[in-house]
Structure 1
Amino acid sequence: MAQVLLFGGRSFEAHEIAGVDEAGRGCLAGPVVAGACILPVEYDLPWLNDSKQLSEARRETLYPLIREQAVAWGVGVAWPWEIDAINILQATFRAMSRAVRAMKVEPRFLRIDGDKLIPRHALQLDIPQEFVIKGDGSVPAISAASVLAKTFRDRLMVRLARRYPGYGLESHMGYGTKAHVEAIRTLGPCRLHRLTFKKVKPEDKPQVQASLF
């Protein structure tokens, strides 16, 4: 029997509901990436969980299985220059919207990981939605979206690291590790860096008053 979710006096079956999640929101470099996924009522996805709770090997195993078994899935990207232009929250909404619109089947309902909904002007679709705090660990469709977003982003960062060497992007994936921050100080930021983020943008140096003597 199909699982049914009741919301706002309407009912939605599991195969009509998309989970949505993002990866890379807190990074200093690289895009923020969102995944969207509708799972069938029955599926075989061992270890499915929040991507942060899974090893890289398990995410890599799940990634093709999710795409094969999903009713529909999509990935959306918002690049660093977009993040700098509209801020990370709005860029995250933009990536999520792109992921939803990339799906081959339009969902009837969205479940968003976190504590915010995608604004209608960003989504550009009239789809009811709800947010689910810590949904990436409790809602399978959101977990699947989390794995899609994280795995796609990690693979992308490894490729981009070849274009922008010296920062170690292939190891820390753009997060603000000590080695990454030191590389930014030494080399300066590259096109992949989020120039509005605190550890990337140059700090204002205090002006030193010229000597009178």
Structure 2
Amino acid sequence: MDTSAFDADNSVSCRLSSIIPDVCKTEDCCLGIDEAGRGPVLGPMVYGICFCPISKKEELKGLKVADSKTLSEAERETLFQKLDDAKGFLGWALHILSPNTISTSMLQRTKCNLNTLSHDTAIGLVQFALDSGVQLKEVFVDTVGPAEKYEEKLSKIFPGIDVTVRPKADSLFPIVSAASICAKVARDHVVKNWKFVENLADVDTEYGSGYPNDPKTKAWLLKYLDPVFGYPQFVRFSWSTAQTLIDSKAVTVHWDDDEEDGEKAAQRLANRSMLSYFSAPGGVTNPTQTHRFFTERRLKSLDTL
């Protein structure tokens, strides 16, 4: 799978897709939706769809797709290649949600929780298929949140399409299993080929599964916690695992915002304000002492707005 479009800038989200088979534009089709990487504190979450004519369901079954979680990495790669080779009747699309996108969405002023983000991404992929000319009649989805409410929501947004939302849909419906395989293969590729924009030199790639309870993941999080600037963008800094480590291991700083007088609060508590890291002692900007966090992101201090 070619994920180079995302690898080129993994700070933002990215959509990838196969060609749309001509038969999917003329025959009634079914579509499955599933995700990979919902729980990990490291790396992206990937949503995938697969679609094919309803008349080709038996051919899809013949590919012997299964829930990606029950397969080895090698088995997933082999099955994805089979799916991709079936381009005469089967298509797929992916939406890769970067860790940065996930965290900023969850922590912005108008917060967007993971369920809402998942729903919006799934809806966007169904709309992408429709806009591409796929004649959708059936949609099968692995549930996020209460299945009945999610099914009702999707049915209202896409009237005329028969929507089925079920727990463990990836083990019940082959078209969802196919979507699960596509999503998981994409996430595996992206994590394996991750480019750290923070220039971490010979970064240790033994970060385990990425799940918070994995000892290797915990050790990696401790190793790469910058005491001032936190984590590289590979980490979902909105996850409680990361937040807890930042609160307990990082330097205590105060941000200037509308709700608190950061400079005065910092002085009162004998801590440094976050703004102090932008300037040299005495308040005079000194580019030679700028931390690499700012130079790598081409950030500069401004005298006026």
TM-score category by the smaller chain? 0.7 to 0.9
- Equivalent runs, 1:91-130 vs 2, <5 Å: 91-103=117-129, 104=132, 105=134, 107-114=136-143, 115-116=146-147, 117=150, 119=153, 127-130=161-164
Q: Would you identify which runs of 4 or more consecutive aligned residues in structure 1 move more than 3 Å?
A: 101-104, 123-128, 161-164, 202-205
Structure-1 residue corresponding to 2:211: 175
Of 9, 26, 36, the match for 2:49 = 36
CA contact (8 A) 1:18 1:107 kept: yes
CA contact (8 A) 1:28 1:194 kept: yes
- Equivalent runs, 1:1-213 vs 2, <5 Å: 16-39=29-52, 40-43=56-59, 44-46=62-64, 48-69=65-86, 70-84=89-103, 85=105, 86-103=112-129, 104=132, 105=134, 107-114=136-143, 115-116=146-147, 117=150, 119=153, 127-160=161-194, 165-169=203-207, 171-172=208-209, 174-176=210-212, 177-188=214-225, 189-203=231-245, 204-205=247-248
Q: What percentage of aligned pairs have identical amino acids?
A: 26
Which whole-Å deviations, capped at 9, do the CAs of 1:77-136 have from their partners, x for residues lacking one? 22223222223222222332343344442523321112442756xx97555522111111
Q: How many residues are paired up?
A: 189
Which whole-Å deviations, capped at 9, do the CAs of 1:44-99 have from their partners, x for residues lacking one? 313x1110011111111110211232532211122223222223222222332343
- RCO greater where, 1 or 2, for CA within 8 Å and sep 6 or more? 1
Structure 2 CA distance for aligned equivalents of residues 31 and 145 of structure 1:
16
Mark the CA change 1:78 to 1:137 in structure 2 (over 3 Å): closer, same or farther: same
* C-alpha RMSD of the superposition: 2.9
Shift of 1:202: 3.6
TM-score by length of 1: 0.76
CA contact (8 A) 2:196 2:234 kept: no
Unaligned runs of 5+ in 2: 1-26, 106-111, 226-230, 253-305
Structure 1 CA distance for aligned equivalents of residues 117 and 194 of structure 2:
20
Give 3-state SS (helix, strand or coil) of 1:201's partner. helix
Shift of 1:151: 0.6
